[in-house]
Structures are given as structure tokens and as C-alpha cells.
Structure 1
Amino acid sequence: MTHVTSQAALRRRGKRQPGGAFGFAVTAAFTFIIASAPQPLLAQTRGGTLNFIVTPEPTALVDLATTATNVLKVSPKVVEGLLEYDFKFQPKASLATSWEVSDDSRKYVFHLRHGVKWHDGQPFTSADVTYSIQTLRQVHPRARTTFANVTDIATPDPYTVVITLSKPAPYLIKAFSSSETPIVPKHIYEGTDAQTNPANNAPIGTGPFRFVKWVRGSYVEYVRNDDYWDKGKPYLGRIVVKVINDPAARTVAFEDGSVDLSGDTPVPLSDLERLKGNPKLGLETRGYEFQAGVARIEFNLDNPVLKNPKVRQAIASALDREVIRKVIYYGYATPLASPIIPSSPYYDPAPTPYPFNVEFANALLDEAGFPRKADGTRFALTVDPLPIGDLPARTAAYVKSALARVGIAVTVRSQDLPAYLKRIYTDRDFDFSINGMSNLFDPVVGVARLYTTGSFRRGVPFTNGSHYSNPEIDRLFSQVAEETDEAKRKQLFSQIQRILEHDLPDINLVSPQYLTVYSRSVHNHTTSPDGVSASFADVWLQR
């Protein structure tokens, strides 16, 4: 077996790691973005309260059954994973101190940290890991794909976990972060419905912070875990997660010092120039390597109108991605038609088969049997933008205007996040939505969940919401999931992208560049690809 310690990068005999560095989502277009300026080395100070904005308000405090970014930002403060990762996606120790991967990549052995306790005093053991992975496979939007090849999880002793696979999964070693594979306490969850367990809203973990209370609509409070296994950490005494729904109010909160940190570009893009000039504030572009993804339109293919491929082709042809980049994203995005981001080694830069062409869009709609009526419209649709940030809603406004030019009347419908998730993924009461989906550490996990037949899972958010099914896509994703040759993987992903761009179960628009806004009194806020979705065990304040 290939042995990997907490201080060494994973090595496999004769095998190169796929996607060794997805790189930053920043392209040449973003070279003007301010990243955190180098700072002199300072001694860490202890204590203090970090005021951290998460928007919209989380729907849960544990990411066991959701991949919503607002939940991912809070869960890892309490609930940990087996591993952490550096900016090159190399694994580091967390609840596992060392690990081994067999030469045929079909067996993973994790050696767990001794002496770790859950926040209620119970010991952390291998049974918790086994329970968590088995439960994630049932309720998590991505885990069924991530752990698809797992045939057995053995626990020969309380500090050893052996995962056996039927086939190689070259991406699997990158899947054990707290934000992707959270380890929850078996003694709290076993025998309950994991999706409705009260601990999802009052978490018990092994992490650096303990949950105190959640005042709905206002804030979530965490305090330092004095019994944390990494002695001396965390440095912060307290974290207050504030809910500030108005984007302009968030800008003011940064300027007056009432908040210290927030991610996913929490302020209006139009305010960034002003914030760049504030010596007390900084902007950071790192910390989105796992989260980097694509803003997209997702069709409901059960809708009889949208089931017609010519209608989808017409909608694609009516949209100008360059307008979206400039007007909606203020230049902080890269136009693309692929579901895979440009910084990925698997990105296929082939141009879209349906470029912006209003005349062609009108012709397609005529051919599809939808002539204009007396009022100039052909038919009506409703769009549901994802209610996280203001960019999906602003994109929806543009789409409404653009489609009006080809006779499609669009109504923009607004709702809170729980209502949106229920409408799209449970009730399926929608025409099309505007959302964003992350590529994650490998497209097999981040992209396949949106398109494979088996990923249509009613009631499970951020999966195949279009209800798209193509046996060839299923076959290609199945093949690339176990392929270890990088050249062959790239070829397979190119085939996948070209089929999807032709079939149009969705329209990929741009790859956004996200930013973290922070007070310069906050140190070590971005130390990994998880960015502000990390544990904050290393964060400290210089007041």
C-alpha cells in the first residue's frame, strides 16, 4: 500500500493525481482584483469576537443533507472531516492523522486521532465515521456519486477505518473535508431521521467551536471549544454569525466596523471600487477553489414547452453572455457554455453551438410551432432565481428582457431559500431556474450530479433538477469516474461537455469570480481552498 502521513502529499505508484491544481478561478480579466496584501508576521492574540456575515440565513447548521453555501460556511466551525486540504488540493490531517491508499486504488485505510471527544463528552471513534459515510450516501446531494464505488466500510478497531471500493475512484482522496464529508456523532443521529434530527440546528461536533444558540432572523452564536484536540486552538473566543439581508446594509456594516468578514462577494459589485479604497478593509480572491463553478439556467424538462429542443436552443441564442459578464457581474466573470470551469484541466473551450443571434432564435421558435400572437408574445414562462445573493435575481431580470425580444413573456418569481428548494426539487413546480453550481474537486462529483439519470432525486437539493436523462452521458460519466489516465479523462470530459452543450438541459452562462471582504484586523481567514467555509481554528484578531 502507498502510505501517506499528515505531512506528505498523496502519492500513488506510477499514477498522477487528477486535477492536481484546478487553479484559481481568476483569469487574466481579473488581474485588477485586490487580494490580501502581505502582512508582517505578528504574534497570534487570543480571544475576541469575530462578526461574520452569512447570507442568506442558513437553513441548517450542519451540512449533512445539503450543499447550500450558506450552510457550508457555518457547519465546519463545529463539525469536522477526516482531512483538510492545502491550495494544491493535497490532503492534510484532521480527524485522521494518517492514511494509506492501495496500489490498485481500491482500498483506503484511515488512522484516526486518539482522544478526540464530541462536544457532549462522548468519545469519537471509527463507528462515527462509518455511520456518517453511510448516512451521507442516503441523504447528501453528492455523496451517492462520491462514494458510488464503495462496497464496504470496516472498523477493525475504534481508531481505524477501511474503505473498500469495487473500482478505482481517482478523485476520492479529495472528498474528505468537513464541507464535503462531515463526520457527525452516531450516538446522536442513529435511530432517527438524519434529515430532521434536532442536532442539525443545534450541532454537536468535534470542532474548534461549540454551538451556543441560534436566534432566527438575527444571529448564530458559537464559543471557543476549550477541549479542542488541537491544543492552543482556536484563538477566537467567540463567533457571531450575523444575518443582514440587505446588500447595501452589508456594505455599511463593513465600513462602520460592525462586521469583520464575509464571503461570496457579500456586497453589491458596484460598491467594490469604494471598498478597495478603504485602508481598513481588504478583498481576497482565494478560498473558492472547491466552490468555483458556473452560473446557469436550469430547465424543467418535464415542461412540455421546454421539452422541445428548439425552444431551448432559441432561448440560448437569445442570450448575450458578454452582457451578463459586463452588466450583471461588472466584469467579475468569464463567459462560457461548458458546465466545467475554464481553470479546470478538463475544460473544453469549443464555442457554443448556439451563440447570441436574435434572428436565429426567432426562426427556431417559428419552426417549433410557436408563432407570435396579436400581443407579440408566443408563450409565457416563470423563472425562479436562487435566493442566495443578488446575482441570480439580477440575471433573471436580464433574461426576462432578452426573451421578450423573441416573444417569450417571463415572470420573475421570488421566494426564500426553503421555498425555492421545495419548489424546484420536491414539488417540481417551475419552468426554469437560475442558480450556480460548483465544480468541486472533480467534475465526476460536482458536475455529474446535475446530469446523470440516477442523480434525479426528488427532494434532494442541488442535483439533477432538469430531470435530464441521456444513456450516453450516464455511460461517459461512469467511465470517467474510474479512469486513472489523465489524457483519457480529458477526452471523456470533452465528449461530455459537447453532448451537454448540444442537448441543452441547461444553459451555462458565466463562471463568476467570488470575493471575500474582510477587516484587516482579521488574520488567517483564508488558509485553504475552503476559504471562509473552513473551521476558523487558525483565525485570530488584532484589535
Structure 2
Amino acid sequence: MKLWTGLLILLLAGAGCSYQGEDSPVAAPSDDPAKTAPGGAPAELYSPDKDPLVNPDSLFQKAPAEPEKIARDETLVRYLKSDPGTLNPLFTSSVYETYVEDTLFDGLFTFNSDFEWIINESMVESWEKTEDHKTWTVKLRAGLKWHDGHPLTAHDVAFTWEAIMDDAVPTKTLRSGRDQLESVTALDDLTVRFVHKEALPTGKWNMLYSILPKHIIGDKDDENRKKDPSLKKDPYYLNYAQAPIGCGPYKF
């Protein structure tokens, strides 16, 4: 807190000193060594982008190119300022819930450290789109599994979108954007097709969502879902929201 307070004061002070009104005199070069760089040039203004305490180099280090150098069996411990209310991606709403969701679940699309949309190559083998940008066909990698060992297929991808769009499921936040898709269809176990209602600049972001396990959540004919179409109130779904089976890099 002290660090950010200090940064705020410095930034405000810099902004105040840089303003020169019509009657404001131009400041003469300072004789204070602390305010000048070697050679008499003005000292460089403070920039939080270059502050190692604010943006350490490790924050921007890329993962090793060799997969064997990436530790995949370690335990992740992360401090959160608030307890997550749910770990079911359908209902996550706070940033703390999202932090945990991103470690437990995965999707076919994601974004990098620059918040640029990218294909999730750990799940996608290939993809193509039509010239009108409305139809995307994605082929999943073979051998993908849920944390319980059950195969992850294109049917899970299509099922998740159907659950998001189900009016009985109170997931309006996640539905926004995904409702711009006309359909999401599993062509076979490894191929899924996204059809957009229209070609939009945001279209590729509308396909970004965490995949849910169909074999656990259940389709509309499943007995658990018949008892609780909202997927949110019955003990079966409440238990899942506290200890979900996912497909991400970490699991309970």
C-alpha cells in the first residue's frame, strides 16, 4: 500500500509540475544534482513501467520452449484477499474466482500476457475459418482428459455453450458475447464447429470460455439436472462448485 501511495504522489506531482499556464514562467534548469542526470541533462521522469518493484522482469518471462523444463507436478499456493464464492466457471463473477478458475479449467482459446487473443495450442491441433469469418472449425488434440481421467471431447465444448445459453441457468454475464454465436456443434469427438450470427471484430473473443465436463454436469435428461435446472442450488452442483473436476494445469 505504501508503494502504490508513493507512486500516486509522484505521478500527481509530476503532472502538476509539467503544467505551464499562459502566465507561468518557464522553470530554469535545476542546480540540484538529485534533479539532473550526469552532464547536466534533466533527470529521467519516474516510470512505473521501468520500476523493478512494480514490474519485475520475472513477470514477463516466457515459459521455456522445451516442455520438459516446465514443472507440472508442483503445488500452487496463491494468496487471495477474498474467498471464492464458487469455482464453477458458469457462475464466477469476482476476480478472485477467476484466478482459481484459470488454473483448474481450460478452453480452446485464450490470451497472452499482452491480452492478445490466441489459440490454446495445448488443446487445439488445427483450425480454419471461412472467408466470411462466420464459421470456424477447430480440431482438438487427441488424448485430452479431464482430471478424473475421462476423455475430453468436442462434445464437451458444444455442451458447455449449450449450458451457457440455457435460460434456466443464471449465467447472464458469461452469456454476453457467447449469444452472438448461432451454434456450436460437435462434428465428431475431436472436431467442433462455431457458427457466428454475423462477422464481428469481437467474434473470436466470443468463442473464449472454459470447458465443462458433460459427463458430470449432465445434459437436460440427466436426473441431477432435472432436479435442479439452474445447476446452482442442488447439493450435487454445490459440491461440484467447491471441488470441481476440470481440465486445466492444476487440480484439487
Kindly report which structure 2 residues correspond to 1:228-377, keeping only aligned pairs within 5 A, or say none: none
Kindly report which structure 2 residues correspond to 1:37-186, keeping only aligned pairs within 5 A, or say none: 37=57, 48-86=74-112, 87=114, 89-92=116-119, 93-138=121-166, 139-177=170-208, 181-186=209-214
Judged with a 3 Å threshold, the aligned counterparts in structure 2 of structure 1 residues 199 and 104 are, in CA distance, closer, same or farther, namely same
For 1:144 and 1:103, how far apart are their aligned partners in 2? 26
For 1:143 and 1:48, how far apart are their aligned partners in 2? 31
**Helix, strand or coil at the partner of 1:51:** coil
Asked if the contact 1:118–1:205 (Cα under 8 Å) also holds between the matched residues in 2, the reply is yes
Shift of 1:166: 2.3
Shift of 1:89: 0.7
What are the Cα deviations for residues 290-331 of structure 1, in whole angstroms up to 9, with x where unaligned?
xxxxxxxxxxxxxxxxxxxxxxxxxxxxxxxxxxxxxxxxxx
For 2:72 and 2:158, how far apart are their aligned partners in 1? 35
Asked if the contact 1:129–1:161 (Cα under 8 Å) also holds between the matched residues in 2, the reply is yes
Q: Does 1:199 align with 2:237?
A: no
Judged with a 3 Å threshold, the aligned counterparts in structure 2 of structure 1 residues 109 and 48 are, in CA distance, closer, same or farther, namely closer
Judged with a 3 Å threshold, the aligned counterparts in structure 2 of structure 1 residues 94 and 170 are, in CA distance, closer, same or farther, namely farther
Kindly report which structure 2 residues correspond to 1:415-494, keeping only aligned pairs within 5 A, or say none: none
**Helix, strand or coil at the partner of 1:63:** coil
Shift of 1:38: 5.9
Asked if the contact 1:61–1:202 (Cα under 8 Å) also holds between the matched residues in 2, the reply is yes
For 1:50 and 1:154, how far apart are their aligned partners in 2? 35
Shift of 1:145: 2.4
Asked if the contact 2:90–2:174 (Cα under 8 Å) also holds between the matched residues in 1, the reply is no
Identify unmatched segments of 5+ residues in structure 1. Answer: 1-27, 212-543
Q: How many residue pairs align between the two structures?
A: 181
**TM-score (normalizing by structure 1):** 0.31
For 1:205 and 1:184, how far apart are their aligned partners in 2? 7
Highest Rg: 1 or 2?
2
Judged with a 3 Å threshold, the aligned counterparts in structure 2 of structure 1 residues 47 and 84 are, in CA distance, closer, same or farther, namely same
Asked if the contact 1:81–1:94 (Cα under 8 Å) also holds between the matched residues in 2, the reply is no
For 1:80 and 1:48, how far apart are their aligned partners in 2? 18
**Helix, strand or coil at the partner of 1:142:** helix
**Helix, strand or coil at the partner of 1:52:** coil
Say which structure, 1 or 2, has more relative contact order (CA 8 Å, 6+ apart).
1
Kindly report which structure 2 residues correspond to 1:202-213, keeping only aligned pairs within 5 A, or say none: 202-211=243-252
Judged with a 3 Å threshold, the aligned counterparts in structure 2 of structure 1 residues 50 and 182 are, in CA distance, closer, same or farther, namely closer
For 2:76 and 2:193, how far apart are their aligned partners in 1? 38
Shift of 1:205: 1.3
Asked if the contact 1:65–1:136 (Cα under 8 Å) also holds between the matched residues in 2, the reply is no
For 1:46 and 1:125, how far apart are their aligned partners in 2? 22
**Helix, strand or coil at the partner of 1:209:** coil
**TM-score (normalizing by structure 2):** 0.63
Asked if the contact 1:89–1:174 (Cα under 8 Å) also holds between the matched residues in 2, the reply is no
Shift of 1:121: 1.8
Partner of 1:31: 47
What are the Cα deviations for residues 515-536 of structure 1, in whole angstroms up to 9, with x where unaligned?
xxxxxxxxxxxxxxxxxxxxxx
Shift of 1:68: 1.4
**Helix, strand or coil at the partner of 2:251:** strand
